[in-house]
Amino acid sequence: MPLKIIAAIAFAIGAASAVQAQGLARGAQDGAERGGNIAGPLGAAVGSAIGGAVGTANEILGIDRRERFRIYTQGERRPSFAHKGPIQVGTVLPPNGVVYYDVPPEFALKGLNYTIVNDHPVLVDPATRRIVEVID
């Protein structure tokens, strides 16, 4: 195996080990699929590690505000929308039946709304109804 490929794999694995578990799982799955499509099994391994790192880096709330936002949404006692299928980043919610709420200014998330889906608060892009972050 060429030295450059070994170095790339080592770097990707090292980068992924510093990543949070939630973003790692989501990003790793996407990265593995893309890498596998492009370069077979080796591409899947590298794509999984890199995708995990990138997936977490794109989380909107971050660790410190995430817990505060979860607590905030629980205190609001909003009704939960029942959605069949997985609730994950990228899921597009239906045009009817979902109630969206403004995100309080203290979280500095202009242009996003939130709702509760299957008892999980989620951040949603109101223009597309696409989930951009699931708050666990």
pLDDT tens digits, 14-66: 444 433 444 444 454 555 555 555 566 665 555 555 554 444 445 788 887 88
Residues 35 and 20 in one domain: yes
Q: What is the mean pLDDT of the chain?
A: 74
Specify the higher pLDDT residue, 102 or 60. 102
pLDDT at residue 104 above 80?
Answer: yes
Distance CA 32, CA 48 (A): 4
Residues 28 and 51 in one domain: yes
**Predicted TM-score (pTM) of this structure:** 0.57
28 C-beta neighbours (distance < 10 Å), count: 23
pLDDT at residue 1 above 70?
Answer: no
Buried residues in 36-56 as b, exposed as e (16+ CB within 10 A)? beeeeeebbbbbbbbbbbbbb
Distance CA 101, CA 78 (A): 9
Residues 21 and 66 in one domain: no
- 29 burial type by CB count under 10 A (0-12 exposed, 13-18 middle, 19+ buried): middle
State the residue range of the domain holding 8.
3-57
Distance CA 113, CA 99 (A): 10
pLDDT of 3:
59
Residues 128 and 77 in one domain: yes
